[in-house]
Structure 1
């Protein structure tokens, strides 16, 4: 079987990581796998790919602000993507992320290949431009399947009858975090963008530093909010206490070195970083946003605070830092997520979906 995966780029990110993992899985099973992106041909993928996987980068990412040039780029993108799909003649096409889903459905109109589109954020909270919202409403019924990550996201697309719910997998990490009597290293992971709520975490951290002078906070990720967050760190006199080292290829090792994980997002499609922290055995505190509440039971395998509530987050940080037994109990329960979302279970859901779609044509 020839599987074609489409995404705008293979930079660091949750959707990119999942797509890369699926590509490696299908390649390992002996399928022909091609990934199409809009990035420049010399752009290396952030996540490792099996050498058998073919990578076609079309060099059509839209960086211009000129309306005529943007329209020309969109038209060229549609024609090039359609031609590429026809040339590859795959058994199934799988597109990731709303904007590329719309582009793929427009480009593949009247082609006979099955098209699966995968939403990677929660559509209630991740607002699209009005035209994209309209196009999604018109085009998603034409997709062979629309894959979402949670039931609440599936509910948004009712009454569509082509919805499939497939959460992300969580692998067993090579190293489990050691539980210490004291908390010295708090960690969080995600793109440095407003929806991740890192400004809330930094402000909450500023309220506890005097009580815990040896504690540090590290935020792994990169994005448009870097300068804003760095200014906030400076304004709160937290230099040397809060660190933003950027991206890392070995986040699991960094998680294993930490004592507490905090995830203050305003919304999530599916909280990959949170799940990885839980799998590593870190006690976690997360906001009550979409995605987070799908994996955390408050007081059982983590703690929850209302989205944006700095005071409640500060209170929970104090509580967990001082309560060693609670941290140990949460850590033990958190690790059970690797059973619930085991890679083989999630891969099997994708395999079954593709098999059911392509079986009549084979």
Structure 2
């Protein structure tokens, strides 16, 4: 099966969607597929990269673009259209319902290959919201409704797709997936002396990190040496750093930037925190659950899809610093129970959200679309 996995951004760009695709691409290749990732070129990166996999083939092609606004998008779309014209593929799988999707759906109709689209988020910052206000968003929305299938990673995204006029029969519920680390999180022997909590993700308004920082003085009243580390980059970095200074939290709250070792950071932590106002299906939350670290997440639909309060972790109301601080303190006050919840979360991810299982479900979807088009089997049984 020749798959084109299309995404404007791909690692080393850092973000939830980028990380999901960086896990999914090699997992699809491990299932025997010939996977080509088509993405935008960035300075300092090779235009073509062959990635070793145990079974199929994975190639990353970085298409020429430009840093100039609008010009860069036009170049990327032109080069994506040209590549799809010049290379035979079986299926195109597109991240986000934006310009890439517009090109891919048109080429799929013209050349006869099925196109599967994948919204990456819901709410005010999600794909459907962008189509309502983005440049050419309405035209792109009309084209996207012609895709052969839409993968939905959450009920919130499914609801938005239906409200936007996407056909229910084309929406397929498929979750995000993550690797399952062989070594789980273990409590640090001296954690109570100076407990550590970590957030890992994009420093953006929808992550609710201002609420988390506002909660931290209340945490420090019980644990004066508690340390909060917000790992990542994003548009809110300067504002969050200013908030830390205003609240006198220098030394208690740290913003070290991005990391390529999220697992190592969490293994050295005592609590994972996700205070989001909006989520599709958080890859950072899934990774924390896969490790088995105790966690606190906001009680929003995307997180509630993964975490049941007091079963896999704790949930706190969004936008409520006092309530968030209280739940954090309860996790540390009942740390043995918090650790048991972490073990339950790890088991759930292993059973339902492993990247290998998710990749197999994707292959089944792609093959069903090929069969419906009469293109026969493309992977040898």
CA RMSD between the two structures: 2.4
Task: Give 1:111 shift.
Answer: 2.7
Post-superposition offset of 1:31: 2.8
Indicate yes or no: 2:149 matched with 1:145: yes
Counterpart CA distance in 2 for 1:171 and 1:25 is 9
Post-superposition offset of 1:26: 2.8
CA deviation map 1:18-75 (0-9, x unaligned): 2222221233344322111123364369x994375322222225543xxxxx2x5544
Aligned to 1:59: 64
Aligned residues: 355
Match of 2:101 in 1: 101
User: Could you report, residue by residue, the CA deviation over 1:149-208 in whole angstroms, capped at 9, with x for unpaired residues?
Assistant: 023322322251211111011322233222356261111111011111111111101222
The secondary structure found in structure 1 opposite 2:301 is: coil
The TM-score, its normalising length taken from structure 2, stands at 0.86
Instruction: Quote how far apart the aligned CAs of 1:354 are.
Output: 1.1
C-alpha separation in 2, matches of 1:188 and 1:131: 32
Q: Given the alignment of the two structures, is residue 351 of structure 1 paired with residue 363 of structure 2, yes or no? A: yes
**2:145 counterpart SS class:** helix
In the other structure, the counterpart of 1:79 is 78
Q: Note closer, same or farther for the CA distance 1:130–1:21 as it changes in structure 2 (3 Å cut).
A: closer
- Equivalent residue for 1:248? 259
Aligned to 2:375: 361
Q: Relative to structure 1, is the Cα distance of residues 44 and 217 closer, same or farther in structure 2, using a 3 angstrom cutoff?
A: farther
DSSP-derived class of the 1:222 partner: coil
Checking the alignment, whether the CA contact within 8 Å between 1:20 and 1:49 is kept in structure 2 is no
Q: Deviations over 1:109-163 (max 9, x none)?
A: 5231211111111256522125555235412221111111023322322251211
- 2:267 and 2:357 map into 1 onto residues whose CA distance is 25
Secondary structure in 2 matching 1:98:
coil
Question: Which region of structure 1 is more displaced relative to structure 2, 350-359 or 318-327?
Answer: 318-327
Q: Distance in 1 between matches of 2:246 and 2:50?
A: 38
> In structure 2, what is the Cα distance between the partners aligned to 1:198 and 1:224?
12
Match of 1:205 among 216, 226, 234: 216
Distance (Å, rounded) in 2 between the aligned partners of 1:321 and 1:124: 33
Distance 1:132 1:111 in 2: 24
1:178 to 2:186 alignment: yes
Alpha carbons of 1:133 and 1:361: their partners in 2 closer, same or farther (altered >3 Å)?
same
2:39 maps to 1:31: no
Q: Distance in 2 between matches of 1:125 and 1:289?
A: 15
Partner residue, 2:4:
4
Query: Secondary structure of 1:286's match?
Result: strand
Residues 194-253 of structure 1: per-residue CA shift (max 9 Å, x gap): 111111111101222132122111111111111111111111111111111112112111
Aligned to 1:308: 319
> Aligned pair 1:119/2:119, yes or no?
yes
| Aligned mate of 2:200, from 176, 184, 189 | 189
Matched, 1:228 2:239: yes
Give the Cα separation in 2 of the matches to 1:209 and 1:43.
44
Task: Give the distance between the partners of 1:157 and 1:301, measured in 2 at CA.
Answer: 29
CA distance in 1, matches of 2:326, 2:359: 39
Q: How far apart in 2 are the matches of 1:299 and 1:225?
A: 31
- Residue 21 of structure 1 is matched in structure 2 by 23
Match of residue 342 from structure 2: 331
Alpha-carbon distance in 1 for matches of 2:137, 2:218? 41
Counterparts of 2:339 and 2:50, CA distance in 1: 33
- Could you state the TM-score of these two structures normalised by the residue count of structure 1? 0.90
* Partner secondary structure for residue 291 of structure 1: helix
